[in-house]
Amino acid sequence: MALGNKKLEDLLNPISEQLGHANVADNVEMPEWEFKAKRVTDGLSAAELVDLFESEAGKIRVTAKRCTKDTLAQTIAEIVGAGVPDSGDACSVVCADEEAFAEIGLYDALRASDKVTDLHVWDEQAGQANVDKAYVATYGITYASAGIAESATIVQPTSAKCGRAISLLPLVHIAVVNARTIVPTMLEIMQAYAASDEKLPSQVCFISGPSATADIELVRVEGVHGPMYVNYVIVE
Amino acid sequence: MSILYNTEATLAERVDECLADDFKHNAIKAAQEAFYVKRGELVEEMGEGWQQLRMHAMEVRNHVTENLDYYVKQFAQNAEANGCVMHYAPSGDDALWEVLDIFESHGATYAVKSKSMMTEEVGLNEVLEETGIKITETDCAENILQTAESKPSHIVVPALHFNRSAIADIYREKRGYDGTDVPEEITHFLRKILRHEFMEAEVGIRGCNFAVASTGSVTLVTNEGNGRMVDSFPKVQIVFVGIDRIVPDLEALDTMMALLPRSAVGAKMTAYFSLDSGPRGTGEVDGPEDVHIILMDNGRHELANSEFQDMLRCMRCGACLNICPVYRHITGHGYGSIYPGPMGLVLTPGLVGYDDIDNMVYACSLCGACTEHCPVSIPIHDLVRQHRINIVNQGKNHKIEVPIFKALGLFWSNKPIYLAGMKLGAPIMELLGHDGALDASSTWIPVVKNWTSTRDFDILSKSRFRTWFKEHKAEQKNTEGGEQ
């Protein structure tokens, strides 16, 4: 048979034949599963889940801080103000375009900070310039859609208001997580997406700590291609 | 590269070379121990939940295999509905053809790639480079291997066979690195030089850990973030998906993800896990504009409904490598396959057949540690044994085996010959050996040297067990009688 330009049937037919199926079934019912796994988070209260999220964050080298809606802007400004090693004098910040951020006055607080040399709020009209800003930024700030207690993971969907670059290119990622959105395991997130009628975002990124590698002699090094430092700010 | 490599050397030659490299197998041993300990802690923490997860993962994966045609079709249709361009590759060559076609239609000549076993399987890099397309590996270890023109020795940490100063030298020579041998400094140098490439490349090439049939999504599990760079900035993205990567729905994806990072690196989650459903959405300014999915079979369907069907559950975590005593010594380079270790012993002949694999399936002691550790309960050592049975049944074993086993059968089933042999054995061995053992001094004897060059072989006892047992019983009776 000639190479390339194969149709779906060319891929499916040998599989069906191997399985002894005359043709591909129109519908396959999922069976009743026999096993359901017990998870370490079973039976934890909402408050305990937040505690677990925070303690697991510590284990994966994330700095976690708690605050309230009223102190959120101040808390973030303090993190940015504290600086990070080797980042030089310039301190540029790229931020997701979140209503919640505008509402609590985050953008104003950052502009008012004498540490911040440049603040860029994600703007779909600006196109590639957003990515260019993120490329040189020290801090990227996003609002996670949820947190996962078991593994201290934050759930970061991509949208027109929050590009992939914000949580990826800057030296530091600051992720805001609402305590009420912290769920026990990834299963609850998956179930919520499965139950939703909306199309999945082009990307949902599950982030658990700084970018890391152990490729050279198994020595752990943080900050490979993504952020070297990750902060979670838990809003209660 | 294709599935097999370095086949100009025999298995024995490759193994000898690996055994002689102390740095290499000590590095592998250290990796095994580190992953083993970390995995063990997490498994213990989950208690009975771990076994339940394994059993559930097995039933889910089996269900997909039994209905593989249905789920492949469902995934393909949903991915297409998400706006991905589907390319179907019954064979590896079909996949290469499609990739070249994609480069041509986009007029692209520059690609960045995050680690993907499927692309290794078809030898993608070599083919692209031959046509003048620049392709950069972006995983740290893969970049080290590409720069050094070397091959992976471990599937999770592939460049362990180089020490830090060798790696620093490679970059000094090829990329103008002028820093120290400290891993952190070398890694941050890579961050600097590769960052630019992610932004410049026209095409991003990546693999897929699990493909979700119900949503048409592909996923990528990474720690370094190179996978995210590859799928965020190049305008065109090519995703390699094996037909054995499919899970039915998002809930099943959670089950697999509860098992994969724990089994692979002993972590609850990797730094990044992305669930991708089509090209960038309206108003999004990063992410690929065009997503091409290469859905590839390349021999996998033949495992379905066969004695090796269980292997289609494999999620390529490497847990079996991390526990294998043979792998620990011969390392990934001994096997001569891009799929090394226990899983490789089952998968490699499953995909390429028995003719070109040398004695690979005998590089296993059948201890079963791999089976016990496998997160999806593949009876790996049973399948290795099944390959051996098939090789014998197909007459592809070594021709000398048949007369040897016939002779041994005769020896053990004929009492006078057996007794004579046992009587002669001890004095002959004594003549050849020293201090009660055949040791390294006997390596001039053909066949026997294969054992005695590395281990001593105890000399047969002159007295027979039955004689000893009779005496022992009589002695016991006397003692007991005396006590009464």
B159 CA to centre of own chain: 14
Average pLDDT for B461-469: 84
Handedness of CA A172, A178, A183, A187 (dihedral sign): negative
8 A C-beta contact, residue B210 and residue B253:
yes
Q: pLDDT at position B1, please?
A: 54
Q: pLDDT at position A44, please?
A: 97
Q: Flag whether residue A226 sits within 8 Å of chain B, measured between CB atoms.
A: yes
pLDDT exceeds cutoff 60 at B12: yes
Query: Taking CB atoms and an 8 Å limit, are A216 and B52 in contact across chains?
Result: no
Q: Flag whether residue B120 sits within 8 Å of chain A, measured between CB atoms.
A: no
Which tens digit of pLDDT belongs to each residue from B82-121?
999 999 999 999 999 999 999 999 999 999 999 899 999 9
Average pLDDT for A96-105: 95
Q: Is there a domain that residue A201 lies in?
A: yes
Query: Taking CB atoms and an 8 Å limit, are A151 and B268 in contact across chains?
Result: yes
Q: Is there a domain that residue A1 lies in?
A: no
Q: Flag whether residue A62 sits within 8 Å of chain B, measured between CB atoms.
A: no
8 A C-beta contact, residue B26 and residue B154:
no
Mean pLDDT score of chain B, rounded to an integer? Answer: 93
- Structure tokens of B181? 């041998």
pLDDT exceeds cutoff 50 at A143: yes
Query: Which residue has 């959405």 as its token pair?
Result: B281
Average pLDDT for B435-460: 81
| Chain A residue with Cα closest to B268 | A151
Ranking A200-209, B23-32, B278-287 by mean pLDDT, the lowest is: B23-32
Q: Is there a domain that residue A24 lies in?
A: no
Average pLDDT for A129-155: 97
User: b vs e for B425-441, b when ≥16 Cβ sit within 10 Å of the residue's Cβ?
Assistant: eeeebeebbeeebbbee
CA distance A76 to chain B (A): 22
| Chain B residue with Cα closest to A2 | B94
Which tens digit of pLDDT belongs to each residue from B118-149?
999 999 999 999 999 999 999 999 999 999 99
Which tens digit of pLDDT belongs to each residue from A53-62?
999 999 999 9
Task: Mark which residues 131-160 of A lie under 8 Å from B by CB.
Answer: 131, 135, 148, 150-151, 153, 158-160
B189 chain-A contacts, CB cut-off 8 A: none
Q: Is there a domain that residue A36 lies in?
A: no
Select from A205, A209, A224 the Cβ nearest to the Cβ of B140.
Answer: A224
More confident residue, B479 or B51: B51
More confident residue, B89 or A85: B89
Ranking A70-79, B215-224, B403-412 by mean pLDDT, the lowest is: B403-412
- Classify residue B416 as exposed, middle or buried by CB count within 10 Å of its CB (0-12, 13-18, 19+): exposed
- Classify residue A71 as exposed, middle or buried by CB count within 10 Å of its CB (0-12, 13-18, 19+): middle
- Structure tokens of A198? 């909306």
Q: Is there a domain that residue A5 lies in?
A: no
pLDDT exceeds cutoff 50 at B484: no
Average pLDDT for B198-217: 98
Q: Flag whether residue B236 sits within 8 Å of chain A, measured between CB atoms.
A: no
| Chain B residue with Cα closest to A130 | B285
Q: Is there a domain that residue A28 lies in?
A: no
Q: Is there a domain that residue A135 lies in?
A: yes
What percent of chain A is modeled with pLDDT above 70?
Answer: 100
Q: In terms of DSSP bridges, do strands A203-207 and A172-178 run parallel, antiparallel, or are they unpaired? A: unpaired
Average pLDDT for B413-424: 88
What is the distance between the terminal CA atoms of chain A, rounded to a whole angstrom?
A: 63
A202 chain-B contacts, CB cut-off 8 A: 276-281, 284, 287
In chain A, helix, strand, coil percent, each to 5?
35, 20, 45
Would you list the domain boundaries of chain B?
Answer: 54-303, 401-483
Average pLDDT for B39-57: 96
Q: Bridge-partner residues for A192, per DSSP?
A: none
Task: Mark which residues 163-182 of A lie under 8 Å from B by CB.
Answer: 163-165, 168
Average pLDDT for B27-44: 92
CATH topology of domain B54-303: Rossmann fold (3.40.50)
Domain count, chain A: 1
Which tens digit of pLDDT belongs to each residue from B391-412?
999 988 888 888 888 999 999 9
Handedness of CA B91, B92, B95, B97 (dihedral sign): negative
Q: pLDDT at position B397, please?
A: 85
Query: Taking CB atoms and an 8 Å limit, are A224 and B281 in contact across chains?
Result: no
Query: Taking CB atoms and an 8 Å limit, are B269 and A21 in contact across chains?
Result: no
Q: Which domain holds residue A164?
A: 43-235
CATH of the domain at A157: 3.40.50.10420
Among B157, B228, B270, pick the best mutation site for testing chain A contact (most A Cβ within 10 A). Answer: B228
8 A C-beta contact, residue B72 and residue A12:
yes
